[in-house]
Amino acid sequence: MAANKTLLILPGDGIGPEVMTQVRRIVDWFDRRRAVGFDILEQPVGGAAWDAHGTPLTDEALADAMDADAVLLGAVGGPQYDAVPRDKRPEAGLLRLRKEMDLFANLRPALVFDALVDASTLKREVVEGLDILILRELTAGVYFGEPRGIEVMADGSRRAIDTQSYTEHEIRRIAEVAFDLARKRGNKVHSVEKANVMETGVFWREIVTALHRDRFADVELHHMYADNCAMQLVRQPKQFDVIVTDNLFGDILSDCAAMLTGSLGMLPSASLGPEDGTGRRRALYEPVHGSAPDIAGQDKANPLATILSFAMMLRYSFGLGEDAELVERAVQNALAAGVRTGDIAGPGTTAVSTTRMGDAILEELDRLAV
Ligand code: NAD
């Protein structure tokens, strides 16, 4: 039996604790049935931490996150925290966590499960079998560049300024992750920018091209303008394997790609930090959806986005690709058998509870692992 991995669980608010309960059942299953065990720590975050400790992220939770092999988060936020000062809001806790962990690489897969092809707004033949990964730079670019602000000009009128800025190091490290990931998938990278109109785009292309030539020449590399990429994502998304892009374009393109798959309740994500000397990366795994206050506490939420985030953790933090596939196949099979929560229940299927969806995944895992 391999040494246990330390996993910090941050259930958070709203449906966060409900979906996390189902992941805990799967973690227990792995403890019992596979050669991988987890030492679990749990901390409140977001509104739950504010209620208990008067801060959305305690120093203890942050210290645990920095030390853990991986962090799994549910969701934070809710209308009851609207009046809380901005720097104490649930979202502030999450932002601090991402910043302290230096999570510069955001991975958002867009995977279309066979049983859910019809949930996409696009035609079946366009999305059937789709499996792409959008890699977004998360800690630099125009959301952070200086100078920024709104200023009064000499004539008394005002103007607003944002600055798009990327260092060589920031581009190289996200491109490295892209090429590494591509080697474990379809071996193809589309690097996306606006080199036709932006200096950062020209620079981005130059750095990616040099890195590719020097270290990743075996990976197929394409350069694409961001506007064309948006168009291609809805026209012919299966041409892509890994798309790597900056913070702003990644924000937009990852939402666009996400919707190819149809439902928020199905979308996992991962955010990775830099490698330390031992090859370990800090990592946070979380569903793309929020705390869904409208259905919280009703055992209605779809736990699959969080369960699939756990699968990403197995693959990217622990190199357990086979175990990740096991979870993904269990999800695939449960969906194929017609098990659906309300958000993905189509005509002819009956919506089941969060707990029942968890049961179905465990039953499939038992079946697959015989
Ligand atoms: P949301 O993602 O919480 O919900 C949007 C809609 O999708 C709702 O109708 C909800 O019921 C549904 N939905 C979301 N996840 C679902 C699931 N797993 N199963 C079934 N249905 C699901 O977005 P929102 O309503 O804009 O935000 C609610 C709160 O969540 C806000 O406080 C917001 O700030 C917060 N939020 C947090 C995160 C995060 O923790 N990373 C992300 C987005 C929003």
* Per-residue pLDDT at 350: 86
Task: Tell the residue number behind the tokens 């990278």, with chain if given.
Answer: 189
- Residue 285 tokens read as 């795994």
In 3D, which of 182, 220, 226 has the Cα closest to residue 204? 226
β-strand partners of 149: 161
| Substitution candidate for ligand 1 out of 22, 138, 291 with most atoms within 8 A of CB | 291
Distance 290 CA to ligand 1 centre (A): 3
Whether ligand 1 lies within 6 angstroms of the CB of 292 is answered as: yes
The percentage of residues in the chain with a pLDDT greater than 90, rounded to a whole number, is 86
Q: Cα 181 vs. chain centroid, distance in angstroms?
A: 14
Give CA–CA dist 114/32, Å, rounded. 30
In 3D, which of 275, 237, 265 has the Cα closest to residue 253? 237
pLDDT tens digits, residue range 283-335? Answer: 999 999 999 999 999 999 999 999 999 999 999 999 999 999 999 999 999 99
Nearest-atom number in ligand 1 for the CA of 91 is 34
- For 204, phi then psi, to 5°, come to -55, -50
In 3D, which of 238, 246, 250, 144 has the Cα closest to residue 199? 246
* Per-residue pLDDT at 2: 58
> Residues of the chain whose pLDDT is less than 50?
1
Whether ligand 1 lies within 6 angstroms of the CB of 344 is answered as: no
Q: What's the pTM value of the predicted model, to 2 decimals?
A: 0.93
* Per-residue pLDDT at 314: 95
Task: Tell the residue number behind the tokens 């966590």, with chain if given.
Answer: 97
* Per-residue pLDDT at 141: 95
Distance 237 CA to ligand 1 centre (A): 26
